[in-house]
Amino acid sequence: MKTINSFINEKLKITKKLLNNHYEYVDLGLKSGTLWATCNVGAKKEHEYGGYFAWGETETKDTYNWNTYKFAIEQNVKDDLQRGNMSKYNYTDNIKNLQPEDDVASIIMGGNWHTPTKKQFAELLTLKNEWVENYNDTGINGRLFTGKNGNTLFLPVSGYMKDNKKYDENLRGLYHCTMVNHDFANSSYYLFISRVCKTLNKDGYRYVGESVRGVMNK
């Protein structure tokens, strides 16, 4: 016969739950109440890469550069975007975070899903995590984050897209954050993970195609 404690322990091991939008999430027991989607946007399994999206764009495409980036101003493309003013999320509109209409997680997943904020990524990085190779015999590498409740979240290192080429597949992972870098408006914050590193950077060119992992609050 199962005791109450054994029943509770079994429940704590269940990391996936089905939401009304039919997207599974992991409850890592975070103070913020953030729930992390089990899969990248565009993926159906937790180890799959999913789609690659430029920051603030909601569709994948064949080529990722300033010429194809929807917020780039034509003159800035010609002038190498050294400080890079943009048509939106720039030095004058004072919009610091992605709005829902430009958030691919919000658009594709619906409901209360959205791209992680800077604070949510920072909170994730406080958890115990480890580099994992050949995750569950899939051949995919990545980082496994473990909450204090024992539940886990896997982020595959899916590389990134520039022009029409994919770089660093299965070596490094770049995950978009909602926040733009207002010191250099042509760049934004992103989570960078690899075998030796896990950090939140702010120098990611906005046109680069990166992964997105949706989050929502309880």
pLDDT tens for each residue of 87-143 = 999 888 889 999 999 999 999 999 999 999 999 999 999 999 999 999 999 999 999
pLDDT bin (cut points 50, 70, 90) of residue 19 is low
Give residue 112's pLDDT. 94
Residue with token string 């089905």:
18
User: Which helix (H) or strand (E) segment is 186 a member of?
Assistant: none
Tokens representing 93 are 């509109």
User: Per-residue DSSP letters for 28-47?
Assistant: ---TT-EEEEEEETT-SSTT
Tokens representing 178 are 């909602």
Read off the pLDDT of each residue in 70-77 and give the average, rounded to a whole number: 74
Asked if 177 and 121 touch (Cβ cutoff 8 Å), the reply is: yes
Read off the pLDDT of each residue in 163-191 and give the average, rounded to a whole number: 95
Give residue 22's pLDDT. 80
pLDDT bin (cut points 50, 70, 90) of residue 182 is confident
Q: pLDDT averaged over the chain? A: 89
Read off the pLDDT of each residue in 20-30 and give the average, rounded to a whole number: 86
Q: Is the pLDDT of residue 207 over 90?
A: yes
Angle ∠(125,127,129) on CA atoms, nearest 5? 85
Angstrom distances, CA of residue 74 to CA of 70, 84, 87, 98, 200 = 10, 11, 10, 22, 30
Asked if 53 and 206 touch (Cβ cutoff 8 Å), the reply is: no
CA distance 107 to 16: 22
